[in-house]
Structure 1
Amino acid sequence: MESNRRTAINTAIFSAIANALLAVVKGIAGVFGNSYALIADAIESTTDVFASLLVLFGLKYSTRPADENHPYGHGKAEPLITFIVVGILVISATVIAYESIQHILTPHKVPEKFTLIVLAVIVILKEIFYRFVSKKSDKTKSTSLKADAWHHRSDAITSLLAFIGISIAIYMGEGYETADDWAALLASGFIVYNAFLIFRPALGEIMDEHVYDDMIVEIRKVAESVQGVQGTEKCFVRKAGMSFLVDLHLTVKGEISVKKGHEIAHEVKNSIQNEMPEIADVLIHIEPEE
């Protein structure tokens, strides 16, 4: 778990630095290249910097050990941070949409050709960043890191749309000057859609939604391999940050002693946590076999 924690935190730091550098590049290119689509892209990257910093804070806080006031740990802080990140995305999309409409209604010059090179490089980099951060989020089981990964994918999409819009404006000539503004407006819709994709799993985590069938199958398999276990009944899994909490009902022979049942429960718990280190705790209820 400590290894996952370090991986997640280092990835969040990487995202914050990458977003900050790209926001500067986009902003400069947008201003000198006369492209609001690039400026809108820079706005989103700037919000992504704050989002990445929030993710970093959430990861550090959510991995704090359990204490007297938080016996189940602080893991639920992570999806709460994700909700804030989603809010930032929606606000940035609203700003971009509003400014895009204003630019569409106001005549302006066609963007410079060099902005296409900048955007092409950004699209490639952002897709690479998405795949890197997404892989780390899958490894660490981090909801907020997955949200950060989707930020990179969202940025890649908006940059691609900006590339298309600017290309139309440059090569179609007079009458198509607002094409990149329309691209920015369309990109704001994609940002909102991606915000929903980020929001949905975080909501499921807060609500302890049942979405861990594969893990439950593995838990039952490990439990039933322990000597003395006759079978398993109820098995519930809930996520808390980068770890999981399990409630499991075991059946044992009815004639064994309470002490023996207690020993079997401990052995099952140890076996499950050894096989699946992402599981922070297992609460076991013993029932006699009928």
Structure 2
Amino acid sequence: MPRSQLAIRTVIFSMLGNVALALIKFLTGFLGNSFALIADAIESVVDVFASILVLLGLRYAARPADDNHPYGHGKAEPLITFLIVGFLIFSATIIAYQAVQHIRIPHQGPEPWTLLVLAAIILWKEVSFQLVMSRSKKLKSSALKAEAWHHRSDAITSVAAFIGIVIAIWGGEGYEVADDYAALIAVAFILYNCYKIFRPALSEVMDEDNHEDLAQEIRDIAIQVKGIKDTEKLFIRKAGMKYHVDLHAHVIGDLTVREGHEISHRLKDKLKREIPQLGHILIHIEPFD
């Protein structure tokens, strides 16, 4: 299955799961008198819209290179990630505001049975996080990584809600606001996750060359090619699920231009075979002294 198709299927899985969980949380929070669960549901609704953005971004990023985009459309991925971070911050702001309002107004405490629903939600979100994160690592996708952290932040908000409900039930009268303080704690975790999602995407947009392991793999493969004596400069930049490479390779200085050209093509073909996630590869041939 193509890498882009696998990524799209992963996002659809996340999106459908978030739709179901948002409905469950809203109903449980409303019937069980838990604002922490309602706040959790708000985040799930935002996650649905974020998943739609990821889906659109992955589809656009998968487009092949054209005259206007010779390196492809992969940069759409981190740009979509920025929008997702914005959605998360927006949802955190709404949750914080509503939690403060509930703290100021006396209200009935949550029902004990809401804990059973939360326990099931926490388990499901952690399983979803592990699945989507493993796919993001396999496909080297920043957008999928952001999608995975959505699941983890959702699990964290559910854990905070669980703790708040336990305190509210155990403490009894006067402890009802524990549920609301749990929502505020969840907001702090959401904002922290925003940073964790934002930083790698910014690195990708700024073309930071922090791919040491991949660089070493490329150099090791290069010196296996007949005619390549050594490698010098190597620049790598990530765009979506592809890595674009500029490599300076040394060959014997008295070769003809045609021979040097053929060696560079052998090197490029071998790199493509050995490392499928490489996109555009530029080989610059230099004389070896």
TM-score (norm 2): 0.99
Alignment of 1:71-82 (within 5 A): 71-82=70-81
Question: Gapped runs of 5+ residues in structure 2?
Answer: none
Q: Distance in 2 between matches of 1:143 and 1:273?
A: 22
Which residue of structure 2 aligns with residue 37 of structure 1?
A: 36
Q: 2:137 and 2:5 mapped to 1: Cα distance?
A: 14
> Where does residue 285 of structure 1 map in the other structure?
284
Structure-2 separation of matches of 1:69 and 1:209: 23
Question: In the alignment, which residue of structure 2 is the partner of 1:61?
Answer: 60
Q: Distance in 1 between matches of 2:196 and 2:173?
A: 38
1:253 is aligned with what amino acid?
A: I
User: Aligned residue for 1:155?
Assistant: 154
Q: Determine the C-alpha separation between the residues in 2 that align with 1:71 and 1:273.
A: 17
**1:86 correspondence with 2:81:** no
Q: Supply the distance in 1 between the matched residues of 2:76 and 2:269 (Cα, whole angstroms).
A: 27
**Matching residue's letter, 1:74:** H
**3-state SS of the aligned residue for 2:2?**
helix
For 1:13 and 1:275, how far apart are their aligned partners in 2?
A: 30
Task: Using the TM superposition, give the Cα deviation of residue 155 of structure 1 relative to its aligned residue in structure 2, in angstroms.
Answer: 0.3
Aligned residue in 1 for 2:237 = 238
The normalised TM-score by structure 1 is 0.99
- Match in the other structure for 1:188: 187
- Which residue is 1:51 aligned to? 50
Q: Deviations over 1:208-241 (max 9, x none)?
A: 1111000000000111100111100001111111
Moved over 3 A (4+): none
Question: Paired residues, what number?
Answer: 289
Unmatched 5+ stretches in structure 1: none
Q: Give the distance between the partners of 1:28 and 1:211, measured in 2 at CA.
A: 46
What is the distance in 2 between the residues matched to 1:86 and 1:198? 7
By how many angstroms is 1:69 displaced? 0.7
1:208 match: secondary structure: coil
Aligned to 2:130: 131
How big is each residue's C-alpha offset from its partner over 1:20-55, in whole Å with a ceiling of 9 and x where there is no partner? 000000000000100000000000000000001100
> Within 2, Cα distance between the matches of 1:33 and 1:236?
56
State the shift of 1:139 in Å. Answer: 1.0
Aligned residues of 1:4 and 1:139 also touching (Cα < 8 A): no
- Shift, 1:191, TM fit: 0.4
- Report the secondary structure of 1:285's partner residue: strand
| Alpha-carbon distance, 1:140 to partner | 1.0
Query: Which whole-Å CA distance do the structure 1 matches of 2:4 and 2:69 have between them?
Result: 19
Give the match's secondary structure for 1:244. Answer: strand
Whether 2:136 is the aligned partner of 1:144: answer: no
**CA displacement, residues 245-281 of structure 1 (integer Å, 9 cap, x when unaligned):** 0000001111110100000000000000100000012
Q: Which amino acid aligns with 2:286?
A: E
Name the amino acid aligned to 2:160.
L
Secondary structure, aligned partner of 1:18: helix
Alpha-carbon distance, 1:6 to partner = 1.0
Q: What displacement does 1:3 show?
A: 1.7
Sequence identity (%): 58
Q: Which residue of 2 aligns with 1:19?
A: 18
CA distance in 1, matches of 2:51, 2:17: 10
Letter in 1 for 2:120: V
Aligned equivalents of 1:247, 1:228: Cα separation in 2: 18
